[in-house]
């Protein structure tokens, strides 16, 4: 079996810009406001990683960290059935595909890291072809009943995720919600670290509250950052950070077959 360095998104312009897709061994972050399509993107990627190789998939398992209980196997199967009817019409295939996605719902960052320690073995055996964290901010949010981790401990978790990606060569796709353009919206992150204030400029247009929540270490740990946003009713996917691509923006839509450019 071919072990390439990317998992193609099947979004043509994007795969070209990223020289093949979401790269193995590094962190790729999807940021955008609520409802823009981050989870829809993740569901499609989970599907693509689990599909048989002859259909352009990686024939692998997927670990889906569902920190906000937003994973929907029904929606994933809907995306699969309308994108790849020939596979999903086969008896038992929808179930088989869904069975390849291991969905975990940790309630804190340390619970998440503990579960990953256990899963490390299968990560290292290359059975797992994609690790999704939807979302990172939710994992550290006080809304999930946990005390906010201190920056030092957060730094440890970030290093752990990054080194896991490096050692296992698994692509890690992480979502994070940012506020929409409306200034009057309530803050989504309820704790801050003022020591980051000086770094906000360097974080480019990165949401200041997200930086406050995750710290500048996180912004730097991410190799590729894709920003999803809406302008005048049109959704756009922007390559905001990439070692290979210049900043690019692609209009996209979401249909029954998922996200497409």
- Per-position DSSP letters for 109-124, written without gaps between them: HHHHHHHHHHHHHHHH
Hey, which residues between 16 and 55 contact ligand ATP (CB under 6 A)? 32, 34-40
Q: How many residues bind ligand ATP (CB under 6 A)?
A: 13
- Contact pick of 6, 59, 70, 236 for ligand ATP (by CB under 6 A): 70
Distance CA 139, CA 9 (A): 25
Q: Which H/E stretch holds residue 83?
A: helix 73-83
**Shortest Å, Cβ 124 to ligand ATP:** 29
Q: How far apart are the first and last CA of the chain?
A: 29
150: left (phi over 0), alpha (psi -120 to 50) or beta: beta
Chain residues 231-260 in contact with ligand ATP, contact rule CB under 6 A = 254-256
Query: What is the smallest separation between the CB atom of 103 and ligand ATP, expressed in angstroms?
Result: 15
Query: Measured from the CB of residue 54, what is the shortest distance to ligand ATP in angstroms?
Result: 26
Q: Are strands 172-177 and 128-134 parallel, antiparallel or unpaired?
A: parallel
CB-CB contact of 63 with 197 (8 Å):
no
Nearer to ligand ATP, 54 or 74 (CB): 74
Query: Given the complex with Mg ion, which of 38 and 61 has the nearer CB atom?
Result: 38
Partner whose binding site includes residue 83, from ligand ATP, Mg ion, none (CB under 5 to 8 Å by kind)? none
Binding residues vs ligand ATP (CB under 6 A): 32, 34-40, 70, 177, 254-256
């Amino acid at each position: 079996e071919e072990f390439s360095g990317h998992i193609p998104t099947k979004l043509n312009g994007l795969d070209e810009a990223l020289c093949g897709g979401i790269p193995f061994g590094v962190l790729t972050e999807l940021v955008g406001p609520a409802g823009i399509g981050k989870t829809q993107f993740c569901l499609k990627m989970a599907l693509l990683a689990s599909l048989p190789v002859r259909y352009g998939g990686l024939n692998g398992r997927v670990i889906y960290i569902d920190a906000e209980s937003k994973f929907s196997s029904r929606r994933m199967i809907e995306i699969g059935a309308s994108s790849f009817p020939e596979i999903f019409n086969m008896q038992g295939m929808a179930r088989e595909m869904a069975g390849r996605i291991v969905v975990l719902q940790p309630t804190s960052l340390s619970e998440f890291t503990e579960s990953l320690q256990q899963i490390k073995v299968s990560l290292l055996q290359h059975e797992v072809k994609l690790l999704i964290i939807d979302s990172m901010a939710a994992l550290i949010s006080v809304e999930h009943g946990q005390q906010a981790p201190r920056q030092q401990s957060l730094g440890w978790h970030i290093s752990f995720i990054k080194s896991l990606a490096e050692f296992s060569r698994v692509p890690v796709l992480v979502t994070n919600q940012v506020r929409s353009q409306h200034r009057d919206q309530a803050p989504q992150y309820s704790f801050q670290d003022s020591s980051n204030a000086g770094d906000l400029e360097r974080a480019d247009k990165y949401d200041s509250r997200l930086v406050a929540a995750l710290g500048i270490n996180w912004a730097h740990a991410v190799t590729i950052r894709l920003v999803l946003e809406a302008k005048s009713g049109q959704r756009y996917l922007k390559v905001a950070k990439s070692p290979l691509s210049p900043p690019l923006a692609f209009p996209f839509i979401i249909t029954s077959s998922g996200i497409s450019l």
